[in-house]
Amino acid sequence: GRVPIDWGTKLVGFLQNHDFASQKGRKAAEKNAYSLLRKRHYAPAAAFFLLAEPPMLQTALEVIIGQMEDLDLAFFIARLVEGGEPNKLTMGGGGGGGMM
């Protein structure tokens, strides 16, 4: 369905008013993510888990794989998020460092 215009305005306000690297910002992102999960809005919930700094990647991937059943998206997101830190990625193979 369509997203109401005021929802977009609220989202922009939320994004502008939170520092997601701070404990308060991380908690706000996590709280909203769980609220969206309860409403079965899985993609936005996963996105909110990824807003936190550092991202709550494991939880986001659990939602994407377990609820959305989208393994391709999970690998894509994992690769994007962990792209700068190849040794942190625990899913699948790889683990090799990049070129110096």
| pLDDT tens for each residue of 36-73 | 999 999 999 999 999 999 999 999 999 999 999 999 99
Indicate whether this model's pTM tops 0.85: no
pLDDT of 94 higher than 50: no
d(CA 32, CA 37): 9
Q: Residue 93: what pLDDT?
A: 42
Q: CA-based angle 3:39:41, to the nearest 5?
A: 55
- Compute the mean pLDDT over every residue in the chain, rounded to the nearest whole number: 84
